[in-house]
Amino acid sequence: MKRLALFLAAALAIASCAPKTTSVLVLCENGGHHKPFTDVVLPWLQEVAPAEHLQITAIQNTQPVNEKYLASFDVVLQLDYPPYSWPKEAEDAFVKYVDEGRGGWIGLHHASLLGEFDGYPMWPWFSELLGGIRYQDYIAELSDGLVVLEKPEHPLFKGLPASFVIPDDEWYTYNRNPRECPDVEVLAVVDENSYTVDTDKKMGDHPVIWTNTSKGGRNVYFQFGHSKKLVDNPCFRTLLLNAIHWAGEKR
């Protein structure tokens, strides 16, 4: 009995030291010009999941999403999935999930396509999450851009240099600067002078990574996420994995 008790105690100690598995729901598009990005990033996430202690579930529409469904996940990763065409039940469940801190959220690129698109109305709550913005325009030619960190000490940027190039991407502009929202903490900007195409589609001060500190759940938006070249970029890979681990922790 004594040996059994010691064995059980040792087993419990080992279990308590084992890394926590982070359960990630990935919303990804099943068509359009963002599909090539998803087609390389999603398989990469699934490949690194065991070593990173991640459990990846991918869906291509929000029909299954409700409160019970979301309760199984630590993080929702909006991998270029747009902020419209969601069923009302999915919208309501997602709002509670983020507002009440039931889990974390990461949005990439197309997740900020806010306005009236494809016959769907504006989602005001989602705009508020991102600082009250509305999508305005983008650089269609695709351009490299130098991302400059404003808060290099943030856990999102562990192992990253103070600036790094995001290659061949679309750079969105908005009707207002998210920095104007008191709930928004800007974490990084793009240096518009670094663009490799000649364009007048600029914001001046151009945030590209930010978080809304008023929400119960940890959240972060990355404005880039168009080019399939990103999966070969070590800074992007580090950034996305850091974000998943950070967002998966409770505040």
The model's pLDDT over 217-235, given as tens digits with 9 standing for 90+, comes to 999 999 999 999 999 999 9
- What integer best gives the mean pLDDT of the chain? 93
Cα distance between residue 222 and residue 202, in whole Å: 17
Going by pLDDT thresholds of 50, 70 and 90, the confidence category of residue 10 is very low
Host H or E run for residue 211: strand 207-212
In a domain, 10, yes or no: no
In a domain, 11, yes or no: no
Q: Which residues is 189 bridged to in the sheet? A: 148, 207
**pLDDT for the residue 33:** 79
| Full residue range of the structural domain in which residue 143 is found | 21-247
In a domain, 16, yes or no: no
In a domain, 30, yes or no: yes
Tokens standing for residue 56: 């990846």
DSSP-derived secondary structure letter, 143: E
Let me know: does 85 contact 32? Beta carbons within 8 Å: no
The model's pLDDT over 147-198, given as tens digits with 9 standing for 90+, comes to 999 999 999 999 999 999 999 999 999 999 999 999 999 999 999 999 999 9
Going by pLDDT thresholds of 50, 70 and 90, the confidence category of residue 17 is low
Cα distance between residue 242 and residue 238, in whole Å: 6
Question: What's the structural domain count of the chain?
Answer: 1
**pLDDT for the residue 56:** 98
Tokens standing for residue 94: 């997602």
Going by pLDDT thresholds of 50, 70 and 90, the confidence category of residue 16 is very low
**pLDDT for the residue 9:** 47
**pLDDT for the residue 1:** 55
The model's pLDDT over 115-152, given as tens digits with 9 standing for 90+, comes to 999 999 999 999 999 999 999 999 989 999 999 999 99
In a domain, 49, yes or no: yes
CATH classification of the domain holding 96: 3.40.50.880
In a domain, 141, yes or no: yes
**pLDDT for the residue 12:** 45
Cα distance between residue 110 and residue 82, in whole Å: 5
In a domain, 1, yes or no: no
The model's pLDDT over 46-60, given as tens digits with 9 standing for 90+, comes to 999 999 999 999 999
Q: Can you give the pTM of this predicted structure?
A: 0.92
